[in-house]
Structure 1
Amino acid sequence: MSESSAPRTAPPRPAVQAAPHGAAIFRSLTGLLARWLPRQRWYADKGRPLSGLSLVSATELLPCAGGGPTPGLLHLLVRTVPQGAPQGSGSCYQLLLGVRAVLPPALAPALVGRPSDGPLRGRAVYEALVDPRLSALLLERLRAPGTLGALAFQRAHDAAIPSGLPARALGGDQTNSSVVYGEAHILKMFRRVSPGINPDLELPRALAAAGCARVPAPSAWFEADGQSAAGPEPLTLGVLQPFLAGSTDGWALALKSLSLRTDFSGAAHDLGRATAEIHQALARALPTTTLHGRQLEQAATAMNERLTSAAVAVPALRPYRTGLRRSFDALVEYARRGGHLDAQRLHGDLHLGQALCKDGEWSLIDFEGEPARPLMERREPQPPVRDIAGMLRSFDYAAGQHRAPGPWVAEWATAARTAYCRGYAGVSDEDPTAHPALLRAFETDKAIYEVLYEARHRPAWLHIPMTAIRRLAG
């Protein structure tokens, strides 16, 4: 895309700025960002060209327009408008950009570009989180509560956050960005943000207040003024939590078990118990409700709508629509027979990668929920079976990733799934297998979500959820 063909800057919303040249800086960056944003792993509107970018807020954490050797640090909230979308729609993204006259070779892969005009003309603008010097500054901001422009930094009253910790950005397959500080803390910076408290801040704080030690309690966090994003509530931008050094995530443990052909049932059983304990703590800490007939029918309708939408985007789903809808019809039938489901706050995107194990003890992390769903939907009470279905799908995912398939791989997944449900039932009053039709409906809904996700982000993995689709539709 040439500079002349870049999306025009959309009519600006009222923006909060703590950058002396915020609007001018943004105008000079519009073309660069329009090319750079869609290539990022966490960009949610892949496949839809941009028709506009608008500035929500600009805050200089370090001065950016100077000519000296000290790097600048610019925080931006920008709203994107995909082509064909109505004006005012789109997504709000958080960007943290470094500015240097000369970019060190180690930071060259993080380059966004060099503006051809404006206050940053000729200077290198780059992704700041990969720069340990600038990431360290962000930690110091979190250590000292206060406000700067649209940004507000807060800290838990009992949190011990050491100064001077070395910073390293985590790579890998993430929908957000994370930085580890020493072996003490990890910062998760949300990329696509919406007005309202993010569950990854709300739920761990509630669990800490309830005395649940299976989830790291937030040490600090930062937010943006919601008024600057045309919403009444602040936007959660990042959460700092203790880093569970020495732990291994469940995905790595499962793949190791598969490679060594060892039984995973014991670990899965303990993970089921940990999940039930966290569900019980959430039910004590936050409001619960009960879903009755009409509400369950609406849930089945939403599942059918997600299937219809996914089948439009992923043609491979289309032959299985009739079989998959039978699972949702069973949920409707359960509702019409007078069935009900208790609902509460959940993890929302539970899988093996969100579970950490150290010395045989499991912890859960990343309570953000499924990033593709609207924030308000992720904050609604849901039946615990949704989390359980997500973990069951994860055992199948691990088996699907194994490079030496055979009957024993399917047996490994079945044994893990069974052990997980037994562990959960050993703590909870609810046995996940007591209503197989309900579990199947939620597992089908999750598999459809996975198909859409993989088709958009990891096409090489699409065969894994499609294997489940064929089984669930059969």
Structure 2
Amino acid sequence: MSDAAPSRRGAPPGPLPSAARATAARPAAPPADGGLLGSLAPLLSEWLPRQRWFAGKGRPITGFTLVAATELLPAPAGGTAPGLVHLLVRAQQLGSTGPGGAPARGTDDCYQLLLGVQDVLPPQLAPALIGRPAGGPLHGRVVYEGLADPRLAAVVLERLRLPGRLGPLRFAREEGTVIAAGLAPRLLGSEQSNSSVVYGETYILKLFRRVCPGTNPDLELPRALAGAGCRRVPTPAAWFEADLTRLTGPAGLPGTGGEPMTLGVLQPFLPGSADGWQLALGALAVRADFTASARALGHATAEVHGALAEALPTVVLRRPQLERLAGAMTQRLDAAADAVPALRPYRAALRGAYEELAALGRAGRTWSAQRIHGDLHLGQTLRTASDGRWSLIDFEGEPARPLAERRRPQPVARDIAGMLRSFDYAAAVGRAAGTAWSDRARAAFCEGYATVHGDPREEPRLLRAHETDKAVYEVLYEARHRPDWLPVPMAAIRRLAEVPAEGGAPTDPSSGGGDLRPGPRNPV
């Protein structure tokens, strides 16, 4: 969502075809699919790994299991009208090689697919082609990415406009919300771990691709913030989910606990806004000061944290929790250092930041923990041009982490560290000379935060531990995906490793590399 730009309005798609409206009474196809998945498997094995949102790149797919198949729009044969099939599919993959060359545990991720179906694919949809099944119920027909077809994207919006159930799918709308019909859809090309469609300049649909049982934080937290009266986050207008208890076949997801699976969220689109990453780079391009914007962003972040603490339970982290937190950070550091030789000379010094945190817990120190954004950086913020107001978006957290972990209360220092790293990355991308620009932006953000909450620089050890953990993550990411960027987080690693153990983190944390604006969720 953070990559959204104002849409260019095209011809309205018109009302939903009558066949789609009639589908509400049709049962969902059960997992016993009459050969549907078997016929699609060879095509999906080739197509899925090429999608940016596919999480298992670099490892072969060994098989598929159908969780659910739902016909959202029947595909009549012999015509030009498309059909739309919704699939939840588990993709089995071998694990990567573990220590000593031993095979690591494989993965069994569930993906959400929206497949368009028709006899002949129009030329403008050629890039969306998946293929022609050689058998099964779709034999000989063209299967393609449904969201790329405006006619089919319009079907999804119509479902959200008219709440109800369709097999295992449940479509819901916020009470009192009226969603206009006929809004022109536009699939955004900057998808990462999800796909986004803008409808007119009114709404944006975020469709989660890798899904699991439980309420996604990108639905849960904005709704909680709306209930608390916080206006810094767009309130969901509608959403849809899968009720896996309604499936009739043996296939399903282990450990569902009866929880529905969030599949997509429709939120207000903010036309005329720009994300913080674009704004920061724009300021750097003309050597403009960014401190006023950073200070206002810090204030907005603190408002959101305050509202989350009011709306949802908070906990106190004592010795056991702090030791586990420090232990998890140490494990991530060791794994990253094993994979990235450049990190190894700093491992002992960086461990000191985590050991200090655990030692404070043993000495009786406690910290509050609450629900947080979980993946905060400049690209997850929007500033409206008309009034200069900052909003925070994309509360999904880091999709690579388990959902239960993303929903766990954490210190707000984690969000703050993410934003401080993002200022450093912006300075590196904008080729700022020295660290002055980043230093000022980081300090201003903390000052703005302090106008609502305490100044995060007053908890230097907690902040240092989280910033170190973030920089270690960035090193591993850059080494794997963008080796040319490795010097950016390594600059932060060197700075953090030089912090004296007795002094904690500097009172004005700054400099280093961090949260780049494109990347798979993060860094950036």
Per the TM superposition, whether the score is higher than 0.5 is yes
Task: Give yes or no for contact 2:28–2:166 (8 Å, CA) kept in 1.
Answer: no
1:95 aligned partner: 113
Separation (CA, whole Å) in 1 of partners of 2:481 and 2:148 = 22
CA contact (8 A) 1:93 1:193 kept: yes
**1:159-186 CA deviation, whole Å, 9 max, x = no partner?**
1211000000111252110000000000
Q: Deviations over 1:311-368 (max 9, x none)?
A: 3444443333222212111211221222111000101110001110012111001000
1:195 aligns with 2:220: no
Matches within 5 A, 1:129-278: 129-172=147-190, 174-227=192-245, 228-230=252-254, 231=256, 232-278=258-304
Question: What is the rounded CA distance, in whole Å, between the counterparts of 1:87 and 1:300 in structure 2?
Answer: 25
Cα 1:134–1:382 change in 2 (3 A) is: same
2:55 is aligned with 1:31: no
Q: Give the paired residue count.
A: 455
Q: What is the TM-score of this pair, normalised by structure 2?
A: 0.83
RMSD over aligned Cα atoms: 1.9
Greater helix share, 1 or 2? 1
Q: Which residue of 2 aligns with 1:425?
A: 450
What's the % identity of the aligned pairs?
Answer: 63
Equivalent AA in structure 2 for residue 35 of structure 1: E
SS in 1 for 2:235: coil
Decide whether the 8 Å contact of 1:401 with 1:464 is kept in 2. Answer: no
* Segment of structure 1 superposing worse, 358-367 or 64-73: 64-73
1:55-94 Cα distance to aligned partner (Å, 9 max, x none): 1111111124734321111111111121148999521111
Answer whether contact 2:212 2:261 (CA < 8 A) is retained. Answer: yes
| Higher mean C-alpha deviation, range 242-251 or range 318-327 | 318-327
Contact 1:22 1:59 in 2 (8 A): no
Alpha-carbon contact 2:35-2:135 (below 8 Å) kept: no
1:222, 1:239 within 8 Å by CA — same for their partners in 2? yes
- What does the per-residue CA deviation read over 1:265-290, in whole Å, with 9 as the maximum and x for residues that have no partner? 00000000000111110111000011
Report what 2:405 is aligned to.
377
In the other structure, the counterpart of 2:6 is none
Offset from partner CA, 1:106-142 (integer Å, 9 cap, x none): 1111111121222222222111111111101100000
Q: Which runs of 5+ in 1 are unaligned?
A: 1-15
C-alpha distance after superposition, 1:368-400 (max 9, x if no partner): 011111000000100111110111011011112
Counterpart of 2:511?
none
- Mean Cα displacement is larger for which, 306-315 or 355-364? 306-315
**Unaligned regions of 5+ residues in structure 2, if any?**
1-26, 96-102, 246-251, 499-524
Matched, 1:390 2:401: no
**TM-score, normalization by structure 1:** 0.92
Contact 2:77–2:119 at 8 Å: present in 1 too? no
| Paired residues of 2:115 and 2:143 also in contact (CA < 8 A) | yes
1:415-447 alpha-carbon deviations (Å, 9 max, x no partner): 00000001101111x210002121110011112
- Give the Cα separation in 2 of the matches to 1:462 and 1:65: 52
Query: In the alignment, which residue of structure 2 is the partner of 1:442?
Result: 466
Name the amino acid aligned to 1:302. Answer: A
Match of 2:328 in 1: 302
Aligned pair partner of 1:59 in 59, 70, 86:
70
